[in-house]
Amino acid sequence: MVNLDRFTIFTIVTQLSRLINILTLLKSRRVLTATELSIKYEISVRTVYRDIQKLIEAGIPVITLEGRGYTLMDGYTMAPVQFTEKEANALITAQHLVNKSKDSSFVSDFGEAMIKIKSVFKSSVLEKSELLNKKIFIFDQANENVASNALSEIQLAITHFNYIEINYRKAEDPNITFRKIEPYAIFSTYQKWILIAWCHLRKDYRAFRIDRIQHFKILQEKFEDRKFNIKQYFKNCSVN
């Protein structure tokens, strides 16, 4: 359960970091287009719309200029983002959990997001959070020391509906097979990240341990969403 929470935590922190960056750009009185933000943060235009809506719901007076983009209402002074000590401690704790992930890209991207978020901590909160950071210990009970470095790229392929080509080796099998897959979801169990995808070789959904992917390539070609249902999947499918 802790491992499943890590992905949720990572998603929240990444989104928070992005919202802070968008606010900073808006504060500079720039007019930002959805396409510009989509390219800058490597997200879909639909995600940009959701981010702007979250800012509006938080009370930020974002104005839509028809045919031009987004800006802040004239005369609005943006208060600095503030975190309580408990909120800061929760983020510090989350980083310790994430650092136990076996995927280096995930750890690196989360660390970059945390640097940005910690930059807005009040000095007193930052001091306490750094003290707590030295007093948290997460023990790794995993017996298998196998790592990966593909999670961040795979996450983008999932949200952008890009095909992936992989060379994959199953457990206890020395043979490597080539697969073209449609990535749909990821989950973590026993500190191992699992990718659920439609496999064109098997003509069905399959689960792939990311650390067993020998090589991967994200294609520009996009696939049609099959409306994958993870609850239905877990009823009758097991990990390769």
C-alpha–C-alpha distance, residues 178 and 173, integer Å = 14
Same-fold call for 2-72 versus 151-236: no
- For residue 82, with 0-12 CB atoms within 10 Å meaning exposed, 13-18 middle and 19 or more buried, which class applies? exposed
Q: What is the pLDDT of residue 166?
A: 96
Question: What pTM did the predictor assign?
Answer: 0.58
Residue for token pair 């002074």: 77
Q: 2-72 — its CATH code? A: 1.10.10.10
User: Could you state, in order of their start, the residue ranges of all structural domains in the chain?
Assistant: 2-72, 85-133, 151-236
Record: fold of 151-236: SH3 type barrels. (2.30.30)
**Could you give the angle at the alpha carbon of 17 between the alpha carbons of 15 and 18, nearest 5°?**
65
Q: Identify the three-state secondary structure at position 162.
A: strand
Tell me, what's the pLDDT at 5? 54
Report pLDDT for 222.
Answer: 95
Distance from C-alpha of 210 to C-alpha of 200, rounded to nearest angstrom: 18
Q: Which amino acid is at 170?
A: K
> Which pLDDT value is given to residue 199?
96
Question: For the chain, which ranges sit under pLDDT 70?
Answer: 1-10, 29, 76-81, 138-146, 237-240
- Vertex 99: Cα angle to 93 and 104 (nearest 5): 155
Beta bridge mates, 187? 194
